[in-house]
Structure 1
Amino acid sequence: MTTENSQKPHDRLAAALATDMEAVSALIRERMASEHAPRIPEVTAHLVGAGGKRLRPMLTLGAATMCGYSGPYHIHLAATVEFIHTATLLHDDVVDESAQRRGRPTANLLWDNQSSVLVGDYLFARSFQLMTEPGSMPVMRILSNAAATIAEGEVLQLTAAQNLSTSEDTYLQVVRGKTAALFSAATEVGGVIADAPEQIVKALYEYGDALGVSFQIVDDLLDYEGQAESTGKNIGDDFRERKLTLPLIKAVALADDAERAFWVRTIEKGKQEDGDLDHALALLNKHGALDATRKDALEWAEKAKNALDVLPPHEIKDMLSDLADYVVARIS
């Protein structure tokens, strides 16, 4: 029998928030329904039912609970966060021409690109309806800003992904947009809806931001050294899709002329041949790019934990700290 201490942090968080998470799930099912367009719940249910951890809505519920919130609207905000996340996944899979997510065929493969884009639009619209219901302007500002920042990050990634001059600063800007913005909004609105002091709200924002950055760096690292069974992706997918993520940015910065010519051919021009992935991995290891990326992820996880220092003692605070460790445990 699994003891509480041996459970994964997100499982312990889910257990602590089980009643609220059930309410979130019920609200999601209710609001993703459509009387006139049955494809909407079909497509959404496929993605929602794919076994995601629902980490982002749990962050909202956890932050609100930790700050002593006793009203009903943290449920609406958690559902809002999940709708925004699901909408971005639908759109991302179209942009990336992905065929697999969480080990299952993507919605755009099972239906078509049009369905994925339009259902994603519907979920964005639903998220904006939901975020208005608590009647809080600060909450609406945080979540609507996050939605805009996510879209901006995705567009920036389009222009930066295959440009060898992309710097680590630009990469961080992309990550802060497309991934960390929703993490930080999720935690921040939990504190805001609970009327927590400004210092606490700021700490929750900083925790979510650092956790999101660490989360994405780990994801990018695992693309080069993870296991397909656990990541749901094949090794080197980012290389094949010509995405200039942090490991490649670090290797390109240290490349000699011959190595740079290889990166120009494979990433900028997209002329990839058999054996190129193995050569790319050899260059990443030669320049210590994977180890340097791992170090960055660990540092961001530590920043997330340090941000929690100003919060008073609480069992959920401990779970959030453990969660930061867990995010990087797969690469430690």
Structure 2
Amino acid sequence: MSAEIVPLRPRDSAPSLAPIMALTAQGMNAVNAVILDRMQSEIPLIPALAGHLIAGGGKRMRPMLTLAGAALCDYHGTRHHKLAAAVEFIHTATLLHDDVVDGSELRRGKAAANLIFGNPATVLVGDFLFTRSFELMVEDGSLKVLKILSGASSVISEGEVDQLTAARQIETSEERYLGIIGSKTAALFAAATRIAAVVAEKGEAEERALEDYGRNLGIAFQLVDDAMDYDSEAFEMGKGKGDDFREGKMTLPVILAYARGTDEEREFWKAAIAGHRTSDDDLAHAVSLIGRHDAVEATRERARHYTQRAINAIACFPASEARSAMAEAAEFAVARRF
């Protein structure tokens, strides 16, 4: 399989998720049915809390990528429906745990589950969803799929712990930051796309191509998320503006602004990341410094680089509706403002 270079093309209109949503609509109905069925429990709190997040919106990007990858591989079976649901359960479980760790107040524009149901219940229901995901993997019967998804779950946990230990550490490097988002975000994107090639019984080359697509898309997706914390309003992105700032997270916009700043600006960043400058005025000053050094645009430019790598990764597949939809989904991920 030889890959061509597929340039990001200027469009008459903004890139959209509409093509990939249309491509996967029928399959997503089946996936959503699995999700609804498997989040049920005789303990009423479990479906109530899980449903608060699962029914609360979100693009379902990761399970859509599993279905789109299967279409790209010309797979016509149904195994990927349960596996896509497993992917979504892993993602949802990590969101529930993240909100407890971060003390988040908003998730997808609504009150975070931990504020409504409490931290202990939120953590435990996250654990429940993890177990559901592994049940679905075991039911599939493929040790290879189990190895890929369980491995991703382990890497995600490591990435979250690494992010926790890097918080409020002003000297966090860009390299470490990329390692963190490669683990906590991109690992599940990569696994979600790779398993499509496995169920389609494709070769190692196709598996690696889809894994590379997912990994690079996941990095681009998180870079844009981190950029938006400093240039979007809360209602546009479904999270409170400045959350990363107040939590002392060393995301790329901050890393770049700190590196490019004056001595005076660096003193501000040291105090802010340490948790001593977290008022609304401090946030406004942080946003102004990031703007002064073009750190948001520089972050988006890096995201475009990873988006290009994602699109190039699947260029080894024949041109098709699926390949086009996946390329546009990657372009959407880097162009989005929410």
Q: TM-score, normalised by structure 1?
A: 0.94
The residue number in structure 1 matching 2:322 is 316
The residue number in structure 1 matching 2:17 is 10
Equivalence map 1:20-169=2 (5 Å) = 20-35=27-42, 37-169=43-175
Deviates more, 1:210-219 or 1:65-74: 65-74
Listed one character per residue, the Cα deviations across residues 127-183 of structure 1 (whole Å, up to 9, x for unaligned) are 111111121111111000000011000000001121011001100011011110110
SS at 1:195 equivalent: coil
Identity of aligned residues (%): 50
2:73–2:202 Cα contact (<8 Å) kept: yes
Shift of 1:21: 0.9
Paired positions, count: 326
Equivalence map 1:175-190=2 (5 Å) = 175-190=181-196
Shift of 1:75: 0.7
CA RMSD of aligned residues (A): 1.6
2:69–2:196 Cα contact (<8 Å) kept: yes
Deviates more, 1:315-324 or 1:265-274: 265-274
- Unpaired segments ≥5 residues, structure 1: none
Shift of 1:6: 7.0
Shift of 1:289: 1.5
Listed one character per residue, the Cα deviations across residues 62-96 of structure 1 (whole Å, up to 9, x for unaligned) are 11122122322101110100000010011011111
1:307 to 309, 313, 332: 313
Distance 1:315 1:129 in 2: 32
2:53–2:92 Cα contact (<8 Å) kept: yes
Distance 1:280 1:65 in 2: 44
The residue number in structure 2 matching 1:286 is 292
Deviates more, 1:144-153 or 1:309-318: 309-318
Shift of 1:253: 1.6
Distance 1:214 1:180 in 2: 9
More relative contact order, 1 or 2 (CA 8 Å, 6+ apart): 2
Amino acid in the other structure paired with 1:228: A
Distance 2:28 2:279 in 1: 47
Shift of 1:256: 2.9
SS at 2:329 equivalent: helix
SS at 2:169 equivalent: coil
